[in-house]
Amino acid sequence: LRVRSATSYPTSIKQRITMPAMRLNARSKVNAPRRSPMAKAVAVTSIPAPPAKLAKVPLELEEPKEVPLNTWTSKKPLIVKVKSCERIVGPKATGETCHIVLETDNKAPFWEGQSYGVVPPGTKMNSKGKEVPHGVRLYSIASTRYGDYFDGKTASLCVRRATYWDPEMNKEDPAKKGICSNFLCDSKPGTEVTLTGPTGKILLLPEEDPNNVHIMCATGTGIAPFRTYLRRMFLEDVPNFRFGGLAWLFMGVANSDAKLYDDEFQVMSERFPDQFRIDYAISREQQNKDGGKMYIQDKIEEYSEEVFDLLKNGAHIYFCGLKGMLPGILDMLERVAKDQGLNWEEFYEGLKENNQLHVEVY
């Protein structure tokens, strides 16, 4: 059975669920949702800024009706070149995250929510002592099928440089750094990248109902697939997907310098105040209701009644990021469900059966 409830909604939320599909203009300020205070984050300067109007895109990329899967494999990869690689976090961020644009010339088409595989250069010794190529590393694609240039000829990745701090050495141990992430973050324009994929169906954006509600929960580079959703919803002119629903993003970061793509999200928030909502959990700068650090589950809990109401009425909810984020969120949701007199196990299973729950953690 579909999980339903005769819940009473504020007018603005009810309209988002029931009104016909439409795009609100940038001047619309009716019942604007609450948003967390924002500090200016690092913008991605190597790509075009969000266009003043919805971007025209090559709509032939909408024609394939079957999701593309494994067009390229480790045995038959696609060699592409880096167009740009840019650090996109501030100096106080915990670690380095880069936005990398790849020139694919539309030879590896994909849908929003999918991943590419990257095979780093070099070799390793396998368990049998044989020298073999490195294995494939998967990265969520961070641009829509049209790319950051809206022409379908590029695709972007959001990559955090993996390093290992050795407490005995009291410094980073280069022998234990992430091979692929460091290769990508060190890349320059023209660097060749061995690509596989696309792969994945779990986080494909459901587009059957353009008026639906999408609640996105991300930590770190888990923002990548949600950036693709939001750019498709609010920046691109796609006639067969006129988004008229509500997109609500919960984003967990350590500090304001670690925000990703916030410049784009602020543009979307200003232009579509009744359709896009963003709330940050900034663990080292905010406190939860108990006086502890503000993690993403704490921020979601602040709006738990509204989140549950939306889920009962068919909203989709997505989780993407480090797997350590999930237990805390699920524990919180279970606690809130019980406080509301709900059977959590039945409710959770209902979300899965109705394809409302989408989880990709790593």
Which residues are the active-site residues?
139-140, 320, 360, 362
Structure tokens at 319: 């989780």
Q: Could you tell me how far CA 187 lies from the centroid of its own chain?
A: 23
Cβ contact 321:222 at 8 Å = yes
Do residues 57 and 236 touch, judged by C-beta distance below 8 A? yes
Exposure class string for 182-220: b at 16+ Cβ within 10 A, else e: bbbbebeeebebbbbbbbbeebebebeebbbbbbbbbbb
158/234 Cα distance (integer angstroms): 20
Residues 288, 302: Cα–Cα separation, whole Å: 9
What kind and span of H or E run contains 270? helix 262-271
Q: Are strands 137-140 and 213-219 parallel, antiparallel or unpaired?
A: unpaired
Structure tokens at 338: 């019980």
The position carrying tokens 């669920």 is: 17
* Placement of tokens 């909810």 in the chain: 317
Coil, strand, or helix at residue 217?
strand
Strand partners, 87: 98
Rounded CA-CA distance 334/328 in Å is 10
Alpha-carbon torsion, ordered 351, 243, 323, 303, to 10 deg: -70
Q: Can you point out the beta strands (E) in 120-153?
A: 123-125, 131-133, 137-140
Q: How would you class 37 by CB atoms within 10 Å of its CB: exposed for 0-12, middle for 13-18, buried for 19 or more?
A: exposed
Q: Which of 111, 134, 301, 296 is nearest to 222 (CA)?
A: 296
**Token pair of 19 as six digits:** 């009104």
